């Protein structure tokens, strides 16, 4: 299966700990997007990355959140000092370099904060 792979599928952290979410895009895709889905709310854009570059981080909180997409390896969304409000499903999507192409999503990481 050459789809978007996210891990872990479920992650439990205590308040104040760090959470690291990983995303491997579809083969041949060089653009990665992260979205957050809160209960009963729609998917909200967080950040858009290409290899080694952050293109748009306008949806990502300025503090505690960071994202990277290194030359080798998966994209990482990192949340430091997690709080209860960070509990959500985090989805990664990827697309090819050609504009207007659909973004394909992984099955998400469900983050729970105790």
Partner 1 sequence: EDQVTQSPEALRLQEGESSSLNCSYTVSGLRGLFWYRQDPGKGPEFLFTLYSAGEEKEKERLKATLTKKESFLHITAPKPEDSATYLCAVQDHTDKLIFGTGTRLQVFP
Residues 88 and 30: their CA atoms lie apart, in Å, by 25
**Of 53 and 72, CB closest to partner 1:** 53
Can residue 32 be called a binding residue for partner 1 (CB under 8 A)? no
Site for partner 1 in 51-110 (CB under 8 A): 55-56, 58-59, 91, 93, 99-100, 102-108
Sequence-separated (6 or more) residues with CB below 8 Å from residue 92 = 4, 6, 21, 23, 25, 32, 33, 34, 35, 75, 77, 105, 106, 108
Can residue 41 be called a binding residue for partner 1 (CB under 8 A)? yes
Q: Kindly state the tokens that stand for 106.
A: 């992984």
Binding site for partner 1 (CB under 8 A): 4, 6, 31, 33, 35, 40-45, 48, 55-56, 58-59, 91, 93, 99-100, 102-108
């Amino acid at each position: 299966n050459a789809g978007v792979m996210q891990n872990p599928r479920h992650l439990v952290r205590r308040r104040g700990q760090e959470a690291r979410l990983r995303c491997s895009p579809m083969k041949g895709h060089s653009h990665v997007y992260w979205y957050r889905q809160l209960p009963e709310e729609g998917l909200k854009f967080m950040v858009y990355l290409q290899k080694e570059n952050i293109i748009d981080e306008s949806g990502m909180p300025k503090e505690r959140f960071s994202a990277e997409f290194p030359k080798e390896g998966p994209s990482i969304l990192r949340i430091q000092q997690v709080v209860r409000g960070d509990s959500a499903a985090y989805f990664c999507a990827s697309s090819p370099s050609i504009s207007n192409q659909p973004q394909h999503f992984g099955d998400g990481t469900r983050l729970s904060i105790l």
